[in-house]
Amino acid sequence: MNIHSGTIEVTDEPEALGTEPIPARYYYDPEWYELERKAVWMRSWLNIGHVCELPEAGSFVRREIEFANASLLIVRGKDGEIRALHNACTHRGTQLTSEPCGKKSTFSCPYHMWTFGTDGALLSAPDFERFYVEKDDCALRQVAVDVCGGLIFICFEPQQSLREYLGPMTDMLEQVAVGQATTYHEYVYEIDANWKLTYDNFQENYHLRFIHPRSAQSGIGGDNPFGYPSSFSLVGKHRTQTIWTNPDGDFTPSTLLAFTRAVPRLTQDGLMELPHARDYMALFPNFFMLCNPGNNFLHYVMPISAEKSRGVIRLYWKGEDETASVRYAREFGMATTRDIHSEDVNVIEAGQRGLSSGALEHIHFMEKEVLCRHLIKVVEETVEAYKEETGI
């Protein structure tokens, strides 16, 4: 099946992508990682933030992107446009700022005080008349950036526009509540595991009953003890699944209290009527979001090396914490998210150690891990297309 031949929509056909084992080296081999870095990561559109982080002109966030060896400033300019600027002075490369976020009208290099506008243009430089170059040729280098559904995406070597890249997922992303978000809670972690191994943990529910018997009560139970999804769809490079919810889950009093404090606001705003409320949206290569309007749970994983990655988990909210009850509900949601994730870390890293030992030639996916298989298939095809294009 050629995933790049067009849009694929497969529902409840787990064998459509084959049943063969997957090479274990994909999860630790430095040479394979380098191919992924060039073919997948440098050419894919990647979520890097949300417009609520850039509320006004001069607002910026800094993002370190290890696979590209880049430091980026995501900035809202005076013209209201969002740009992704390399955090590197065009004089001698010195990084302009180490601040993680803030607001500036200009960015000045601490080394020789070259000063740049929020659009990246060089505004001034001491003794510039003694240089052999024009100011217009010294603007900060930019990376392609675009916004969909309130989410900011970047791409180092775009092969197509963001909306072309997202395809049918564009409409879905614009329909969910995350576009209305005004604030968020964030949890960032680093893990000694390949990005695919880390990401796959959140694409399958096979492990829920064993790793999350206490914390995943809403997702397992009754006639679905593993909490398998109700359905799934493969959409080109991307994929979705519909989350099954246990109607008889044994919720703690704290969970019920947090839920009842958050939901009335959502109901009043009409957000509960949004489509895709129980859908899981996965965008190639590293992004997934639970589209529940109560809190758009978003998670992306970035590679640091072949055997190390960084994850960013966010819960997006509309409006500020107007009451103590609302704040409690949101803080409880973030605390619960961290608790659940903490149960995953050790087994993911243990899996990496086992794979990196070279003991296995292959790994195996079962029919309910079809989203994991789909990710590998897209990676394989993307790498092979890149090799053919470049003659590697």
Model pLDDT for residues 83-136, shown as the tens digit of each residue: 999 999 999 999 999 999 999 999 999 999 999 999 999 999 999 999 999 999
Q: 137 and 194: one domain?
A: no
Query: What is the distance between the alpha carbons of residues 181 and 150, in angstroms, rounded to a whole number?
Result: 8
Residue 59 has pLDDT above 70, yes or no: yes
Tokens of 119: 């659009």
Does residue 208 contact residue 219 with C-beta atoms inside 8 Å? yes
CATH number at residue 321: 3.90.380.10
Which residue type sits at 161?
Answer: S
Partner residues linked to 75 by β-bridges: 60, 83
Using the 3D structure, point to which of 122, 157, 192 is the last residue of a domain: 157
Residue 140 DSSP label: P
Considering only 13-22, 98-107, 156-165, 346-355, which range has the smallest mean pLDDT? Answer: 13-22
DSSP 3-state of 366? coil
Task: Provide the pLDDT for residue 331.
Answer: 86
Q: 136 and 237: one domain?
A: no
Higher local confidence (pLDDT), 269 or 75: 75
Task: Provide the pLDDT for residue 323.
Answer: 84
Tokens of 66: 């290890």
Q: Give the model's confidence band at 218: pLDDT under 50 very low, under 70 low, under 90 confident, else very high.
A: low
Which residue type sits at 117?
Answer: G
User: Among candidates 154, 115, 106, which has minimal Cα distance to 138?
Assistant: 115
User: What is the mean predicted confidence (pLDDT) over 132-151?
Assistant: 97
Q: 171 and 94: one domain?
A: no
CATH number at residue 105: 2.102.10.10
Q: 73 and 17: one domain?
A: no
Residue 166: count of CB within 10 angstroms of its CB: 25
**Which percentage of the chain shows pLDDT scores above 70?**
80
Q: 197 and 81: one domain?
A: no
Query: What is the distance between the alpha carbons of residues 50 and 61, in angstroms, rounded to a whole number?
Result: 10
User: Among candidates 282, 303, 298, 289, which has minimal Cα distance to 195?
Assistant: 303
Counted residue by residue, the chain has a size of 392
Q: 284 and 250: one domain?
A: yes
341-391: pLDDT as tens digits = 778 889 999 999 999 999 999 999 988 888 999 999 999 999 999 999 999
Q: Give the model's confidence band at 72: pLDDT under 50 very low, under 70 low, under 90 confident, else very high.
A: very high
Task: Provide the pLDDT for residue 362.
Answer: 97
41 contacts: CB under 8 Å, gap ≥ 6: 67, 68, 156, 285, 303
Q: 55 and 85: one domain?
A: yes
Q: 151 and 182: one domain?
A: no
Highest mean pLDDT among 30-39, 264-273, 339-348: 30-39
Number of domains in the chain: 2
Q: 148 and 247: one domain?
A: no
Considering only 27-36, 82-91, 98-107, 318-327, which range has the smallest mean pLDDT? Answer: 318-327
Tokens 């993002």 belong to 63
Residue 340 has pLDDT above 70, yes or no: yes
Mean of all residue pLDDT scores within the chain: 86
Residue 80 has pLDDT above 90, yes or no: yes
Q: 63 and 130: one domain?
A: yes
Using the 3D structure, point to which of 90, 124, 157 is the last residue of a domain: 157
Considering only 30-44, 93-107, 172-186, which range has the smallest mean pLDDT? Answer: 172-186
Q: 211 and 349: one domain?
A: yes
User: What is the mean predicted confidence (pLDDT) over 247-274?
Assistant: 49
Using the 3D structure, point to which of 133, 157, 181 is the last residue of a domain: 157
Task: Provide the pLDDT for residue 270.
Answer: 46
Q: Give the model's confidence band at 175: pLDDT under 50 very low, under 70 low, under 90 confident, else very high.
A: confident
Q: 150 and 172: one domain?
A: no
Q: The domain containing residue 131 runs over which residues?
A: 46-157
Q: Give the model's confidence band at 269: pLDDT under 50 very low, under 70 low, under 90 confident, else very high.
A: very low
Residue 42 has pLDDT above 60, yes or no: yes
Task: Provide the pLDDT for residue 255.
Answer: 52
Residue 247 DSSP label: T
Q: What is the pTM of this model?
A: 0.89
Q: At what angle do helices 324-356 and 253-269 cross, to 10 degrees?
A: 110
Task: Provide the pLDDT for residue 290.
Answer: 84
Task: Provide the pLDDT for residue 254.
Answer: 52
Residue 278 has pLDDT above 90, yes or no: no
Question: With left for phi above 0 and alpha for psi between -120 and 50, is residue 388 left, alpha or beta?
Answer: alpha
Residue 198 has pLDDT above 90, yes or no: yes
Task: Provide the pLDDT for residue 267.
Answer: 41
Considering only 60-64, 182-186, 251-255, which range has the smallest mean pLDDT? Answer: 251-255
